[in-house]
């Protein structure tokens, strides 16, 4: 098992270097700090509340489903975060381009990515024609977490999985 973890950590550093250094540019320096907030608690809460109070029943149901997905995926993410206690990359690595944006000290899994995938996948399941833009925004949010130096790629991948699975389960039941 420790060889697997070492392999993942090695790959994490290589991919993090790509997203944090290799694609760095002025346009992304503006875009990434903005897009990262699509996974914030404030955005998630407001999205759900606005959808829930909608007079259109299908939007109301979407809001309820998103709220349920967010609830369960966030519980899973917090359990993992508290048990793994993985230090954020900007605290462990010296050469990162970082932008600190109101975060706790543990990184695994990415809560922002979990949240944005919970919402994006639920929207995609509910309204398939808008899947592509929803998923592009969700992936951008996940990438922003690495670009900003606050998450490793495996943190983001597990967040994607948690948000996606939670939405699929809620949608099916």
Which residues are part of the catalytic machinery? 112, 151
Cα-Cα-Cα-Cα dihedral sign, residues 28, 70, 125, 47: negative
Q: What is the rounded distance in angstroms from the CA atom of residue 113 to the CA atom of residue 144?
A: 9
Q: Name 106's bridge partners.
A: 87
Using alpha carbons, select from 47, 43, 53, 40 the residue that is nearest to residue 66: 47
Alpha-carbon 158 to chain mean position: 9
* DSSP structure class, residue 37: G
Q: What is the CA radius of gyration of the chain?
A: 16
Cβ neighbors of 18 (< 8 A, separation 6 or more) are: none
Q: What is the rounded distance in angstroms from the CA atom of residue 141 to the CA atom of residue 23?
A: 15
């Amino acid at each position: 098992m420790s060889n697997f973890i070492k392999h993942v950590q090695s790959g994490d550093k290589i991919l993090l270097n790509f997203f944090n250094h290799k694609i760095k540019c002025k346009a992304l320096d503006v875009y990434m700090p903005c897009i990262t907030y699509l996974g914030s608690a404030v955005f998630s809460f407001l999205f759900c509340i606005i959808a829930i109070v909608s007079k259109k029943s299908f939007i109301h149901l979407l809001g309820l489903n998103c709220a349920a997905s967010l609830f369960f995926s966030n519980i899973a993410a917090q359990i993992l975060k508290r048990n793994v206690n993985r230090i954020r990359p900007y605290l462990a690595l010296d050469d990162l381009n970082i932008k600190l944006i109101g975060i706790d000290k543990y990184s695994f899994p990415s809560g922002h990515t979990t949240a944005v995938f919970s919402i994006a996948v639920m929207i995609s399941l509910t309204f398939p024609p808008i899947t592509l833009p929803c998923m592009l925004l969700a992936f951008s949010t996940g990438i922003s977490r690495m670009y900003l130096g606050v998450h490793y790629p495996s943190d983001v991948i597990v967040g994607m999985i948690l948000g996606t699975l939670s939405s699929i389960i809620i949608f099916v039941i």
